[in-house]
Chain A
Amino acid sequence: NAGVMQNPRHLVRRRGQEARLRCSPMKGHSHVYWYRQLPEEGLKFMVYLQKENIIDESGMPKERFSAEFPKEGPSILRIQQVVRGDSAAYFCASSPGTSGDNSYEQYFGPGTRLTVT
């Protein structure tokens, strides 16, 4: 059973460009979470999605950032007009979302390391 997949693993963008980060959850998982890890800092929650729905986006910056999890295909975190401060590691996690003791456990992908030059 493949784990959470993220691509690309490394992404370099110039200031003002767009960054698209993809996350394929584990098979059978319907809940996706995005977290950001800034240099020398811990992980901060950004957004929680279920298929076609944003459940909690309280950690998303108000501008330039958006996320989706369509009915088909991976979840996408999109950053428009990137700035140097967006340079970070972005991690996706997924959980089953069904009932059961382990239904809420989040499994993390390897991350996408975004560098803005």
Chain B
Amino acid sequence: GDSVTQMEGPVTLSEEAFLTINCTYTATGYPSLFWYVQYPGEGLQLLLKATKADDKGSNKGFEATYRKETTSFHLEKGSVQVSDSAVYFCARIKKSGWGKLQFGAGTQVVVTP
């Protein structure tokens, strides 16, 4: 069935380091892809999205490109801050857009000063 797989955490980085979180998805039906971020004790916030192949989503210095050939949607940020410490979830939804989000397991990111 449809699924999303992302790298396990925790990922521990120093401030200003480069961050990559890998995410791959099953290719059934050309889904839309998302990254959500969850800060401690809070709900999920949509970070960025991409709806078709080669789309690049970007927000707050984060970027991810919808790669159909590798079925991937890796999240990157060039210079992380302590405030980026959170859990990051990759997710997919079927092309029509309505219905359940399918989430990866989440990757905890810890940025130290």
Contact = CB atoms under 8 A, between A and B. Distances in A.
A97 B96 CA distance: 11
Interface string B52-64: 0000000000000
A45 B102 contact: yes
Interface in A32-50: 33, 35, 41-45, 48
A108 interface: yes
A17 interface: no
Contacts, number: 58
A96 B10 CA distance: 34
Interface in B59-97: 89, 93, 96-97
Interface of B: 32, 36, 42-46, 49, 51, 89, 93, 96-106
Given A43-B44, A108-B36, 16 more contacts: A4-B43, A33-B100, A35-B101, A42-B105, A45-B101, A48-B99, A55-B99, A93-B101, A101-B51, A104-B96, A104-B97, A105-B49, A106-B101, A108-B44, A110-B43, A111-B42
16 contacts: A4-B43, A6-B43, A35-B101, A35-B103, A43-B101, A43-B106, A44-B103, A48-B99, A93-B101, A103-B97, A106-B46, A106-B101, A108-B44, A108-B45, A109-B43, A110-B42
